[in-house]
Amino acid sequence: MTTAATLPRPRALTFGNLWLSGALLLVMALYPLVFGKAMNFGVSTLIFAGLAMSWNILGGWAGQTSLGHAALLGIGAYTMTLLATPERLPAFLPAPLAPWWGALIGMVVAVALAAVWGGLTFRLRGSYFTLSTIAVALVLRLVAINSEWTGSSEGLFMPELPTLFGLDLFDRKVEYGLAFAFVLLTLVVTHLIRRSRLGYGLQAVREDEDGARALGIDPTRMKLIAFMISAALTALGGSIYAIYLQAFEPHTLLELPISVQIALMAIIGGRTSIQGPLIGALLLSIFGEVFRTVFSNANLLIYGVLILVVTIYAPNGLMGLFRRGGLKLGVNR
Amino acid sequence: MTGLTASSLSAAGVKAAPLLTAQGVTIRFGGVTAVKNINLSVRPGEILGLIGPNGAGKTTLFNGLTGFVRLSEGRVTLAGRDITHLQPQARSRLGMARTFQVERPFEDLSVLENVLVAAFLRHRGRAAEDHAYAVLERVGLADRAAQPAAELNLARRRRLELAKALALEPRLLFLDESIAGLNPPAQQEMVALIRELAQSGLGIVMVEHIMHVIMTLSDHVICMAFGELLAEGTPAAVAAHPDVIRAYLGDDHD
Ligand SMILES: Nc1ncnc2c1ncn2[C@@H]1O[C@H](COP(=O)(O)OP(=O)(O)OP(=O)(O)O)[C@@H](O)[C@H]1O
Ligand SMILES: [Mg+2]
């Protein structure tokens, strides 16, 4: 038996499991070499993996369930596309903006929206925030459908885009690279949060708001910061998604099912884990692909059952199950 | 009813300026008055004991003084500054810390991480982690540092509550029944620790049902019943007060 005195002092300030993240990144990096013919699936899966990771900064770390992230995705997609399309430019812009500048502006707009939106709703307790997310996404969708300048219900077509370091942005391989960089960014941000004062503040707020307040933490401020980071990353993902889609309608981009799908990936994978949302996105995308071809219409039913099983038996998602197993092993050692 | 006030004043003598003062604190929930016109003050290094039967309003008074419940009437100052309308988190930053009567650890976090959340109030990075660990050593929880907080037993949860409060490096500490429910050796340790904290200059307000603990530790005792002040003064004077004996000791012997 080891005694207390001989135990090494444990550390709290770690980046989390970097090996697991490294292994996942390796798998994602090798995918195009093995499945070069299924690049569409690869790109969309990676984009949604990054979106689930972005969602989780708010939904998992701060514990605020959003069912309106499609709105932020839409802001990224619309802003970038509108600013890159010569015929749709606002009057004060002399020339279309390169997609990276457009994406950056989309992120700024999303952060501003999150600041106002969170500022209004986070002071209220309970499920008000979740309800508001559905409402905001609904309003944005209505605006997009009914406004001439956003292409109404037909949506937008991506114009010719300048090359990035000589790379054609419409090449699926390049898009895969962009999506990979997006996932990498969300993963790095999450690892940094894990180790930071912000990360512990967020977890404290998630677990017990009054307990957090007693320790000098302002829950509203914490949730706002998480929302703004989540919004910026989601808008960036939206811009990349727009390039991948090349044409999009409000009906496909701003719908509730998109928001739900992003949230589910994170929840099923495990929202209290760093890599949970990423793993959830990969698994659900693969299963979704298989179910679609094998079961066709029973697809949704299986989704439903999966959600029930996870919420009842594994409230911390798949990663929560693994962690629980790991702890048991640790005790028996 | 409050005939002991004069003697308590002379006992306090001419010491440092009060750290905490509360004047006319009243807290109502709808039609129920849970706390009625309570006045108190605590100086650095002083331990104020708060007693009273179940439902007397002790925890509600704590909540009012720490900002978790809005005062219906009255005024609270910390080191001369009016903090009546400050949020709890702002009070923590000014040097107030509290424990909760029903312990509330962040269950998904380890013991060390629980304390780290508090340590981040005044420290950054590794320094915060070192500080959190040092506090765990001080309260005798260092050997549990890596354990999930959800797995702690009651006695250790109580210590964790205290550790989190201490990691804030407060000037004023509110302890809501930190000792009740501990076994006698653990009680002794806790009493020694609280005394040591007061000697280092902390002002302490403590609620406790165990009479001999409150009587040995407190410099000054306030007894509440039905939200009102019943008696106050030195521990011996309050313990001998007929109203206190009737209302408190009568139905809750220790
Ligand atoms: N949020 C609230 N809403 C309504 N009534 C409340 C609220 N909080 C406390 N009370 C009431 O105020 C009274 C005082 O309760 P409080 O918990 O402060 O007593 P206490 O002295 O701490 O008791 P104990 O020794 O059992 O801890 C009780 O009658 C309680 O029901
Ligand atoms: Mg109480």
Identify the pLDDT of residue B11.
46
Count of positions (residues) in chain B: 254
A276/B7: higher pLDDT: A276
Min Cα–Cα distance to chain B from A333, Å: 15
What is the number of other CB atoms lying within 10 angstroms of the CB of residue B66? 23
Pocket of ligand 1 (CB under 6 A): B 29, 32, 34, 52, 54-60, 101
CB B206 within 8 A of CB B175: yes
Distance from C-alpha of B254 to C-alpha of B241, rounded to nearest angstrom: 17
Whichever domain contains B78, its CATH number is 3.40.50.300
Residue among A200, A215, A324, A328 with most chain B CBs within 10 A, to mutate: A215
Q: For residue range A245-278, what is the model confidence (pLDDT) as tens digits?
A: 988 989 888 888 889 889 989 998 988 899 999 9
Identify the pLDDT of residue B10.
41
Identify the pLDDT of residue A228.
98
Distance from C-alpha of A303 to C-alpha of A291, rounded to nearest angstrom: 9
| Same domain, yes or no: B83 and B145 | no
DSSP-assigned letters across all residues of A213-243? HHTT--HHHHHHHHHHHHHHHHHHHHHHHHH
Ligand 1 centre distance from Cα of residue B54 (Å):
8
Nearest residue on chain A to B62, alpha-carbon basis:
A214
| Same domain, yes or no: B180 and B241 | yes
Identify the pLDDT of residue A296.
63
Beta strands in chain A (DSSP E): 156-157, 247-248
Q: CB-hemisphere CA count at 13 Å for A216?
A: 25
Q: State the pLDDT confidence band at B1, using cuts at 50, 70 and 90.
A: very low
| Same domain, yes or no: B73 and B158 | no
B209 secondary structure, DSSP code: S
Distance from C-alpha of A38 to C-alpha of B54, rounded to nearest angstrom: 69
Residue B116 lies in a domain: yes
Nearest residue on chain A to B94, alpha-carbon basis:
A216
**Token pair listed for B49:** 């004991």
* Dihedral sign, Cα of residue B163, residue B166, residue B168, residue B169: negative
Q: What is the mean pLDDT of chain B?
A: 89
Compute CA distances B32 → A44, A182, B26, whole Å. Answer: 59, 56, 11
| Same domain, yes or no: B135 and B224 | no
CB A58 within 8 A of CB A226: yes
Ligand 1 centre distance from Cα of residue B57 (Å):
5
Whether the CB of B140 is below 8 Å from some CB of chain A: the reply is no
| Same domain, yes or no: B149 and B205 | no
CB A145 within 8 A of CB A250: yes
What is the number of other CB atoms lying within 10 angstroms of the CB of residue A19? 8
**3-class SS of residue B243:** helix
Q: What is the mean pLDDT of chain A?
A: 86
CA nearest A202: which of A65, A61, A64, A316? A61
Cite the DSSP H helix spans in chain B. Answer: 5-12, 58-66, 88-93, 111-119, 125-139, 154-167, 184-199, 211-217, 235-240, 242-244
**Token pair listed for B205:** 């307000």
Interface A-B, measured as beta-carbon pairs within 8 A, has a size of 90
Q: Whose alpha carbon is nearest atom 26 of ligand 1?
A: B54
Angle ∠(A154,A156,A159) on CA atoms, nearest 5: 145
Count of positions (residues) in chain A: 333
Angle ∠(A65,A70,A75) on CA atoms, nearest 5: 125
| Same domain, yes or no: B200 and B249 | yes
Number of domains observed in the structure of chain B = 2
Segments forming the whole domain that contains residue B125: 105-168
What is the ipTM metric for this complex? 0.88
Min Cα–Cα distance to chain B from A88, Å: 48
Distance from C-alpha of A170 to C-alpha of A244, rounded to nearest angstrom: 7
| Counts for chain A of helices (H) and strands (E), in that order | 14, 2
Give the closest ligand to the alpha carbon of residue A210: 1
| Same domain, yes or no: B84 and B175 | yes
Q: CB-hemisphere CA count at 13 Å for B227?
A: 14
Distance from C-alpha of B4 to C-alpha of A113, rounded to nearest angstrom: 60
Identify the pLDDT of residue A291.
72
pLDDT at B3 over 50: no
pLDDT at B209 over 60: yes
Q: State the pLDDT confidence band at B254, using cuts at 50, 70 and 90.
A: very low
Residue B152 lies in a domain: yes
Identify the pLDDT of residue A300.
64
* Dihedral sign, Cα of residue B71, residue B75, residue B76, residue B77: positive
Residue in B25, B26, B32 to alter for ligand 1 test, most ligand atoms within 8 A of Cβ: B32
Q: For residue range B91-115, what is the model confidence (pLDDT) as tens digits?
A: 999 999 999 999 889 998 999 999 9
Residue with tokens 């459908």: A145
- Ligand 1: atom nearest CA of B58 is 21
| Same domain, yes or no: B187 and B84 | yes
Q: pTM for the whole thing?
A: 0.89
CA nearest A161: which of A235, A100, A232? A100
Residue B43 lies in a domain: yes
Among the partner residues B92, B100, B125, nearest to A216 by beta-carbon distance? B92
Distance from C-alpha of A215 to C-alpha of B96, rounded to nearest angstrom: 9
Nearest residue on chain B to A7, alpha-carbon basis:
B143
Question: CB within 8 A of B53, min separation 6: which ones?
Answer: B225, B247, B248, B251, B252
pLDDT by residue, tens only, chain A of 333 residues: 444 455 678 888 888 888 999 999 999 999 888 887 888 899 999 999 999 999 999 999 999 999 999 999 999 999 999 998 888 787 787 878 888 899 999 999 999 999 999 999 998 776 789 999 999 999 999 998 888 788 777 878 887 777 777 777 778 889 999 999 999 999 999 999 998 999 999 999 999 999 999 999 999 999 999 999 999 999 999 999 999 998 898 988 888 888 988 998 999 898 889 999 999 999 888 887 777 776 666 666 776 777 778 778 777 888 887 766 544 333 322
Question: How does A42-80 read in b/e, with b if 16+ C-beta sit within 10 Å?
Answer: bbbbbbbbbbbbbbbbbbbbbbbbbbbbbbbbbbbbbbb
Q: For residue range B109-132, what is the model confidence (pLDDT) as tens digits?
A: 999 999 999 999 999 999 999 999
DSSP-assigned letters across all residues of B53-78? STTSSHHHHHHHHHTSS--SEEEEEE
Residue among B120, B126, B175 with most chain A CBs within 10 A, to mutate: B120
Classify residue A145 as left (phi > 0), alpha (psi -120 to 50) or beta: alpha
| Same domain, yes or no: B157 and B189 | no
Question: Position A281: which residue type?
Answer: A
End-of-domain residue from the set B115, B138, B168: B168
Residue with tokens 């209302």: B247
End-of-domain residue from the set B129, B145, B168: B168
| Same domain, yes or no: B122 and B185 | no
Q: For residue range B168-177, what is the model confidence (pLDDT) as tens digits?
A: 999 999 999 9
| Same domain, yes or no: B195 and B243 | yes
Ligand 2 centre distance from Cα of residue B103 (Å):
12
Where do the structural domains in chain A lie, given as residue ranges?
6-27+37-258
End-of-domain residue from the set B121, B153, B168: B168
Beta bridge partners of residue A248, listed in sequence order = A156
Ligand 2 centre distance from Cα of residue B58 (Å):
5
